[in-house]
Structure 1
Amino acid sequence: MSSANKNEISCLLRKYFSGTLSPGEKIRLDSWLEEREEHRVLFERLHNDTRFAEEYGVFRRVDTERAWERFREGQGLGRRRRIGTWVRYAAVIMIPLIVGGIWWGISSGRKEKQPLVAQKSLPVLRKTDVILELADGKKMVLKGKQEKMIQVGEKLVVKQAAGELVYSDSVGNTRVDTNILRVPKGGEFKLQLADGTRVYLNSATKLKYPVAFEGEERRVYLEGEAYFEVAKDAERPFFVVTDEMTARVYGTEFNVNTSSENGVRTVLVEGKVGVTVRGSEREYVLKPSEMAFYDRGSGKVDVREVDTDLYTLWRKGMFVFERESLESIMETLSAWYDVEVFFQSESAKRLHFSGHMKRYEQIDEILHAITDATGVVFTINGKTVCVSR
């Protein structure tokens, strides 16, 4: 099939799934479906794909012309006239996955999916246990689905539910101790603090916090990534402290990520956040849909508008990448799947990929999608992944 025909069919399929296919275009699509049995099979696979179906409602709300245009530009296919109003959502990154999946088997008749070079395939992700460390140094393993009451301080008992720990808002005369939650690679956990603030902790994250808040402020300490839904309290500001910076809030939703080697990201979803770098008095005040990025190399803070879904959908079990470097993507996958990643080519690190997929799938599926889009080869041996071109 020629490149022009591929582009035409991709466009028709895009319009079909976004509900904008005209009667004339439907006739052309039906004709293509009748040409070969594999066309029909691939169409049905796409139509029944559960990952796509779950995001279908969101996808339909996107300006697909703008999304498609960005995909074409990224693939060097030239520019076309844009139509419609852009709805800011990262579903634009679904376009490469959809089209990539379609052409996986079309470009050469019954072409099979390119296999990974693997001595032993990685196992399905297994949820790991979270560790709760009490003030006296005692460590407790929090089993994922257990539900019980546990003692975390002097005369203080909290509720452990499925994947969540809930603290009471009253401690009476109890001494205010500090607890630490450690979420290992491949794990995640939810926490409700004593003031009602909810915290979603991502893989490879540590949070230090008091069992109750006393005084004029609320302060927690973070290493890794967490999403905060801060309970409103105009009299007591809430602080998230990391090694390099502090976020000051009152009542808001935001995400903080210290995991990247390059720097720290603070993304505001709603409300108001002020970010201050350690050793500096300057405060960077964020508005909703803005991100403050602290660059560890330069020591500077860059504030810019972003699509918050790109940085927060992890708490709903999704990986979302938009033209992200392969080095950064593999860093994220390494933390979640608990694998070691080695690049055999520096140029491979600089390749970019866009994708939107579930976190609970085997890593093989994600690597296949990246291979199909970029041409890199992944060699898997046990829990080690080597990347080469």
Structure 2
Amino acid sequence: MSDQETKDLLDRVERGDCTPEEKALVEDWYLDLCRQQEPVAYNVDYARIKREIWARLRIGRHGSSGAWYLMAAAVAFVSVLSYTLYIKTNNKTGPVQDKMMAAIRPGGNKAMLTLSDGRQVPLGDTPDSIAAAPGVLAQQGSGILNYYSTSRQPLKLSGERPVYNTITTPRAGQYQVVLPDGSKVVLNAESSITYPVPFTGKERRVHLVGEAYFEVAKHQQQPFIVSSLQQSIKVTGTHFNVCCYLHQPDITTLAEGSVDITPLASSTTHSLKPGQQATLIGNDFEVKSVKAEDVIAWKDGLFVFNDTPLKEVLQQIGRWYDVEFTYNSTLPLNKRFDAEISRNLNLQQVINIIEMGTKLTFKLDGRKVNVH
């Protein structure tokens, strides 16, 4: 493919009259480059970028060869140059703003464990043991909290009166917990979960605010129930995601198994199948089919936006980077946005991707980001 043919391809992508395969090819390489940890440079080493592209081609991510390699290399190289020129000529904030944004790092493993007596224990990556309840030891380390019996025996479901623990993640925080019954929970930023230690009685009930991914251990005789301020979810053993931040509709996405969901303001129960998502609107649910793996990609370090309103995109990014986006009502925040972005990038890198996809501009002021 000649330079002119490559430029023609990029022009077609920009105009929107390319084939889906051509668009996917250009976007795929662009997103790969945006996942780099280094911020966009103003003095670009084009030879280095070209070497990196060819190195990635040799890895053979798609298992292709021949002419596809040549076209992909040409498209990737020219798209990088076009992207860099765009940033250099259209950046209205300048290198000082970019450095300030680049200094804002992504979130990490941090949370607070509140015990039943009110004591609070910071959670992180450093190994430590905590007396969580009579006869129960909690062990933290590497972003995970596990519960054990002090008698070195497995924790058992019992009829003893439980005490309650709460894990709360701040903005720019996430954490995992293996509950006393063996169920695994991953908490997203600005979320909390309250649960008994150990589980007793006829059910295993936890209370969630925010967002969490669940892998529930199977105990047929003791169903697992997740309650929020607006709904309850009943399962026996399954994988699902719940998003129930304050002042937003509750959203439940099923990845595996089955769940029954019921609004607290109604007695109507809906059963979900894998790949279905239920959004609570008023006193009833709106159910649709989704790619569950995209919805839960956040737990594996990715933002995946599929036709997502820009306002929701900024909310998710704001929680993970602990920044507040401010904007006026005239901005097109209902505009849909599509992208796959690593949650390991710094804020400046993420903003660059959004600017390219929306033509909005962003200016940092402390922990506030003004959108224009």
2:105 alignment counterpart = 124
1:158 alignment counterpart = 138
Do residues 202 (structure 1) and 182 (structure 2) align? no
Q: Secondary structure at the match of 1:228?
A: strand
In structure 2, do the counterparts of structure 1 residues 194 and 371 end up closer, same or farther at CA, with 3 Å as the change threshold? same
Do residues 257 (structure 1) and 243 (structure 2) align? yes
Q: Is the 8 A contact 1:218 1:239 kept in 2?
A: yes
One-letter amino acid of the counterpart of residue 140, structure 1: V
Q: Is the 8 A contact 1:105 1:113 kept in 2?
A: no
Shift of 1:114: 4.1
Q: Residues of 1 paired with 2:247 and 2:330: CA distance?
A: 16
Q: Secondary structure at the match of 1:376?
A: coil
Cα RMSD for the two superposed structures? 3.5
Q: Aligned ranges for residues 186-225 of structure 1 at < 5 Å?
A: 186-225=172-211
Q: Is the 8 A contact 2:158 2:198 kept in 1?
A: no
2:39 alignment counterpart = none
Match of 2:82 among 106, 109, 131: 106
Shift of 1:328: 0.7
Q: Secondary structure at the match of 1:348?
A: coil
1:370 alignment counterpart = 354
- Unpaired stretches in structure 1, ≥5 consecutive residues: 19-36, 62-98
Q: For 1:307-342, what per-residue CA distance to the aligned partner results, in whole angstroms no more than 9, with x for missing partners?
A: 112210100011111121111100101111111110
Match of 1:133 among 114, 124, 127: 114
Q: Residues of 1 paired with 2:173 and 2:246: CA distance?
A: 18
Q: Residues of 2 paired with 1:173 and 1:302: CA distance?
A: 38
Q: Is the 8 A contact 1:253 1:270 kept in 2?
A: yes
One-letter amino acid of the counterpart of residue 311, structure 2: E
Shift of 1:8: 6.8
Q: Is the 8 A contact 1:165 1:192 kept in 2?
A: yes
How many matched pairs?
328
In structure 2, do the counterparts of structure 1 residues 381 and 151 end up closer, same or farther at CA, with 3 Å as the change threshold? same
2:217 alignment counterpart = 231
Do residues 241 (structure 1) and 222 (structure 2) align? no
The alignment-based identity, stated in percent, is 26
Q: Is the 8 A contact 1:42 1:105 kept in 2?
A: no
One-letter amino acid of the counterpart of residue 112, structure 2: I
Match of 2:254 among 268, 276, 294: 268
One-letter amino acid of the counterpart of residue 126, structure 2: Q
Match of 1:146 among 113, 126, 130: 126
In structure 2, do the counterparts of structure 1 residues 219 and 351 end up closer, same or farther at CA, with 3 Å as the change threshold? same
Q: Is the 8 A contact 1:247 1:274 kept in 2?
A: yes
In structure 2, do the counterparts of structure 1 residues 6 and 17 end up closer, same or farther at CA, with 3 Å as the change threshold? closer
Q: Residues of 2 paired with 1:101 and 1:365: CA distance?
A: 19
Q: Aligned ranges for residues 37-186 of structure 1 at < 5 Å?
A: 44-46=51-53, 103=79, 105-106=81-82, 112=88, 114-115=90-91, 117=93, 119=97, 120-121=100-101, 122-125=103-106, 127=108, 129-142=110-123, 144-168=124-148, 169-170=155-156, 175-186=161-172
TM-score by length of 2: 0.77
One-letter amino acid of the counterpart of residue 185, structure 2: V
Q: Secondary structure at the match of 1:293?
A: strand
Q: Is the 8 A contact 1:252 1:271 kept in 2?
A: yes
- Unpaired stretches in structure 2, ≥5 consecutive residues: 29-43, 65-74, 149-154
Shift of 1:175: 4.4
Shift of 1:170: 3.4
Q: Residues of 1 paired with 2:53 and 2:47: CA distance?
A: 10
2:69 alignment counterpart = none
TM-score by length of 1: 0.74
One-letter amino acid of the counterpart of residue 354, structure 2: I
Q: Is the 8 A contact 1:267 1:291 kept in 2?
A: yes
Shift of 1:104: 5.2
Shift of 1:109: 7.2
One-letter amino acid of the counterpart of residue 293, structure 2: D
Q: Residues of 1 paired with 2:50 and 2:280: CA distance?
A: 44
Do residues 360 (structure 1) and 344 (structure 2) align? yes
2:41 alignment counterpart = none
Q: Secondary structure at the match of 2:331?
A: helix
Q: Residues of 1 paired with 2:303 and 2:217: CA distance?
A: 27
Deviates more, 1:244-253 or 1:127-136: 127-136
Q: Secondary structure at the match of 1:329?
A: helix
Q: For 1:11-52, what per-residue CA distance to the aligned partner results, in whole angstroms no more than 9, with x for missing partners?
A: 66966999xxxxxxxxxxxxxxxxxx9997765454557xx9
